[in-house]
A = this chain, B = another copy of it.
Amino acid sequence: MPRPSLSPITVSLAEAVPFVGPEAIARHSGVLLRARIGANESPFGPAQSVVDAMAEAARESWHYGDPENHDLREAIASHLGIASVNVMPGEGVDAILGMAVRLYAAPGSTVVTSLGGYPTFNYHLSGYGVQMHTVPYINDREDIDGLARAAHETGAAMVYLANPDNPMGSWWDAKAIDRFIAAVPETTMIVLDEAYGEFAPAGTLPALDMARPNLLRMRTFSKAYGLAGARVGYVVGEAQSVSAFNRIRNHFGISIIAQAGAIAALADQDHLESSVLAVQKSLEDTASIVRRHGLIPLPTATNFVAVDCGRDGLFARAIVDGLAQHGVFIRMPGAEGLNRCIRVSAGTEADRILLDLALGEVLARLRG
């Protein structure tokens, strides 16, 4: 039977999930999920005030949220000390990244990113028929000089940099990032993904410069604010570059509950601070655990730690799969070289006890 054709770009795409969720792993393996420390979520959750605000907003779910996200935009702008024209919220950074690619790249143009960088950004590149040019990490850090150089050499429409970085947890200081920004061609749109910015040491995030047209900075409520399940992120940048999102965005995309939750989250900076501290303590403990098992935790400015397992990607993969059999969900970098590591998110004490036990058994088995 004849059928409608898929478009020339989508016909060649795979039906792939960039990240398989722990729920799917549990469904396929039949092993109950016991420690959820693979998706860089915050077990310290949203504040109680945020949960309350969301429960209250649930009653209002009969009507659409404000498509201009006015109050949320104002709250973010006021929190950052910038104008609301420099802020555009969206239904999670994943969605915003897709829109950025759609706006600032096109089929046939080239976009530069790191080999082993954020897979969902790459998913959008293929999804919109954009050519991806990758630059390898150097010493587990994104190669900012190499990225800027590649942007010049390829005439890149965009260049992507995560600072702090996922999946390695590494970071550059604000001075280095500013040098990188200055080195990229003015016609190349820089996507500076700061999803983990709240966890980074002081001096990591450059000052907010709202005058530069070729810089989009991505922020999220999913990580430090503990609202991954709510779907709210935002982009910050020069007014015209940011307002371009109005051409294509899903206007009613952020649920009324998520808008209320994000506004409440910004209002509770004490909870944010205590979450960031809790994450740091948690990761210090995780680092001790993996060290005791003979693995090497890398420095991190995020809510996860990349752990060097000292051998190849197959070995690290066997650890990830082995832990999954114990109901301990973690992930690992995909790129050659980086894939000697596993990536463990900050968890609760219970999560770490389970990790410790499972890691002991898995490594004993693997090391024979």
Contact = CB atoms under 8 A, between A and B. Distances in A.
A59 interface: yes
A213 B246 contact: no
Contacts of A255: 229-231, 255, 257-258
Nearest to A54: B58
A256 B230 CA distance: 7
Nearest to A68: B24
B213 A21 contact: no
Among A229, A254, A257, residue most surrounded by chain B Cβ atoms (within 10 Å): A229
Contacts of A59: 45, 51
Contacts of A104: 4-7
Interface residues of A, number: 91
Given A1-B213, A68-B21, A10 B61 contact: no
Among A109, A127, A228, residue most surrounded by chain B Cβ atoms (within 10 Å): A228
A62 B303 CA distance: 13
Interface in A288-332: none
Contacts of A261: 58, 61
Contacts of A363: none
A243 B14 CA distance: 11
Interface in A6-41: 6-10, 13-21, 23-24, 27, 36, 39, 41
Contacts of A70: 23-24, 27
Interface stretch (A95-103, A137-145, A175-183, A196-204): A95-103
Given A19-B251, A24-B68, A68-B23, A63 B7 contact: no
Interface stretch (A162-170, A185-193, A336-344, A349-357): A185-193
Given A1-B213, A58-B257, A66 B17 contact: no
Contact of A16 (B2, B8, B246): B246
Interface of A: 1-10, 13-21, 23-24, 27, 36, 39, 41-46, 50-51, 54-55, 57-68, 70, 91-92, 94-95, 98, 102-106, 109, 127, 157-158, 186-189, 213-214, 222, 226-231, 240-241, 243-244, 246-248, 250-258, 261
